[in-house]
Amino acid sequence: MSLTQIVGKVFVPRQHALERYQQEGEALQRAVLNHLIQSAKDTEYGRNHAFAAVKGYDDFISQVPVNTYEELKGDIDRMRQGETDILWPGRVKWYAKSSGTTNDKSKFIPVSNEGLQKIHYAGGRDSVAIYLRNNPQSRMFDGKGLILGGSHAPNYNLKDSLVGDLSAILIENINPLVNLVRVPKKQTALLSDFEVKRERIAKEAMNKNVTNISGVPSWMLSVLTCMMEMTGKKHLEEVWPNIEVFFHGGVAFTPYRKQYEQLITSPRMHYMETYNASEGFFGIQDDPADKSMLLMLDYGVFYEFIPMDGGDPVPLWGVETGKNYAMVISTSCGLWRYEIGDTVQFTSTNPYKFIISGRTKHFINAFGEELIVDNAEQGLAYACEQTGAEVLEYTAAPVFMDANAKCRHQWLIEFSKRPQDMQQFADLLDKRLQEINSDYEAKRYKDITLQHLEIIEARPNLFNDWLKMRGKLGGQHKVPRLSNSRDSIDQLLKLNA
């Protein structure tokens, strides 16, 4: 019996427990809300919002407003200074540094002990449980896992308090037993200089029996490419013959899939998407044939959803399939009715399954076209499929009016394999966007409101250079895909000149 078969028995009870998601979604979520309210009723936030009087969801929404980071920032900063019982009971020692808001370069998301265990680590364990259920012949525990992490730093010089990438906080607090089955060593994993770290990870991992990898697709690809250059090999299974699964999240996998499939040609390779963010762990792809993810219902997260076409927030049991919603969460880390900034669409309500459709701020709606990230991913995938091209990174923004009074979308794309005919690629992308987005199609009608999109080819490593220039290379940092503002694309175009 292999080590994986032995360890796999530990996950069987949880595999059975997940079957409750099929019929008991509402009951599970109501239980989570009750636990959160009871746990936090004696905190300052709980007292200020009369948690003791909350008997259910209707009371909760009447007592607690929907919040953005700005509304909670003052309380979070007091917690970072060491104050206790503010948004969550006791002292919260860890803070996940996330991309900033309009007013700040960074957000600092509290990560309580309970949130660490019952949200973030629970998501990691369930990812493995679901993978083993779907792949009973797996041997992932017979080798090691390569887990990419960011870096952390002291928080206001308080003892034992850290601020940094969520992945670094997870590695810092991980069960010591897990270190027996993972690479690289902690000292390497937590290096702040990504370029130095990438080389060290490659050197440490290339002679190990790595069976599984976990991380953000863009940064993992950078590490793997570095290792292939060091070893002189063409395919990853030449270095790691037993590689079998990539647990990925953080950015959409669509632009990277073809590159991974060229790098890893083993028919035994699996890809499993997860939805894990600084604010929590929310979804896991439970069916390899279905790109949508299972919403995780019994962690320390209570969900609400704001219809993007207008209306009040609804609880999980009020959602409809096919609609675009902004996600709102209340968590055991002290985030209360917090707008996370992501948008989702449900594909099923029995069980509750969804896709990430974009960001509330990462879309283009300059002319009423309502183009979201999911549209962009589908359009690019289609154009790549038809032309054989491969997209590495991209961003897009509107040109509101050029010298000829013309309005259009401008796409800046870095190709790992450029199309032979760039105009054909642009035509296919534009065509597909019209097919899947009726608002975009209406605005493109006869070029009256919106002219044909424009593609500008980015030089190699443009996006990495831009992230590096801004101190955001590696870790949780991402390229904004779509924006109504030209701030990012103009910086990139200047660097591309």
Q: If 0-12 CB within 10 Å is exposed, 13-18 middle and 19+ buried, where does residue 418 land?
A: middle
**DSSP reduced 3-state for 306:** strand
Q: Tell me the Cα Rg of the chain.
A: 23
pLDDT grade for 365, boundaries at 50, 70 and 90: confident
Distance CA 379, CA 441 (A): 13
pLDDT digits (tens, 9 = 90+) for 60-117: 999 999 999 999 999 999 999 999 999 999 999 999 987 654 445 578 999 999 999 9
Distance CA 340, CA 275 (A): 12
- Whether the Cβ atoms of residue 469 and residue 495 lie closer than 8 Å to each other: yes
Token code pair at residue 430: 């534009």
What percent of the chain has a predicted confidence (pLDDT) above 70?
97
For residue 278, pLDDT over 70 is answered with yes
What mean pLDDT comes out for the span 348-355?
A: 96
Cα angle value 143/148/150 (rounded, 5°): 150
What mean pLDDT comes out for the span 437-453?
A: 85
For residue 28, pLDDT over 50 is answered with yes
- Whether the Cβ atoms of residue 344 and residue 322 lie closer than 8 Å to each other: no
For residue 161, pLDDT over 90 is answered with no
What mean pLDDT comes out for the span 139-143?
A: 96
pLDDT grade for 476, boundaries at 50, 70 and 90: low
What mean pLDDT comes out for the span 17-22?
A: 96
For position 105, what pLDDT does the model report? 57
Beta bridge pairs of residue 413: 394, 457
What mean pLDDT comes out for the span 255-266?
A: 88
For residue 153, pLDDT over 50 is answered with yes
Q: How far is CA 109 from CA 39, 148, 372, in A?
A: 19, 20, 26
Q: Which parts of 41-177 are beta strand (E)?
A: 94-99, 106-111, 144-147, 152-154, 162-164
Token code pair at residue 267: 């028919």
- Whether the Cβ atoms of residue 291 and residue 285 lie closer than 8 Å to each other: yes
For position 424, what pLDDT does the model report? 97
For position 491, what pLDDT does the model report? 95
pLDDT digits (tens, 9 = 90+) for 223-235: 999 999 999 999 9
**DSSP reduced 3-state for 273:** strand
Distance CA 180, CA 141 (A): 10
For position 81, what pLDDT does the model report? 94
What mean pLDDT comes out for the span 254-272?
A: 90
Of residues 219 and 137, more confidently modeled: 137
pLDDT grade for 405, boundaries at 50, 70 and 90: low
- How are beta strands 324-331 and 454-457 bridged, if at all? unpaired
Task: Tell me if the pTM is above 0.85.
Answer: no
For position 435, what pLDDT does the model report? 92
**DSSP reduced 3-state for 211:** strand
For position 156, what pLDDT does the model report? 80
Choice among 6-15, 71-80, 111-120, 158-167 with the minimum mean pLDDT: 158-167
Name the helix (H) or strand (E) containing 190.
Answer: none
DSSP annotation of 344 reads E
For residue 403, pLDDT over 70 is answered with no
Amino acid, res. 61: I
Distance CA 171, CA 189 (A): 8
Distance CA 281, CA 335 (A): 14
Amino acid, res. 36: L
Token code pair at residue 107: 């957000």
Distance CA 473, CA 15 (A): 37
HSE (side-chain half, CA atoms, 13 Å) at 393: 21
Strand order across the beta sheet in which 280-284 lies: 182-183, 144-147, 210-215, 245-248, 270-277, 280-284, 293-295, 352-359, 338-349, 324-331, 301-307, 314-315
Of residues 252 and 11, more confidently modeled: 11
Distance CA 97, CA 110 (A): 9
313 CB contacts (<8 Å, ≥6 apart)?
61, 66, 304, 305, 306, 328, 337
For residue 430, pLDDT over 70 is answered with yes
For residue 434, pLDDT over 70 is answered with yes
Name the helix (H) or strand (E) containing 270.
Answer: strand 270-277
Choice among 187-191, 330-334, 335-339, 454-458 with the minimum mean pLDDT: 187-191
DSSP annotation of 120 reads I
For residue 167, pLDDT over 90 is answered with no
Dihedral over Cα of 117, 118, 120, 121: its sign: positive
For position 472, what pLDDT does the model report? 72
Q: For residue 164, which of 476, 388, 387 has the smallest C-alpha distance?
A: 476
Which position has the token pair 């007292």?
47
For residue 362, pLDDT over 80 is answered with no
**DSSP reduced 3-state for 331:** strand
What mean pLDDT comes out for the span 417-430?
A: 96
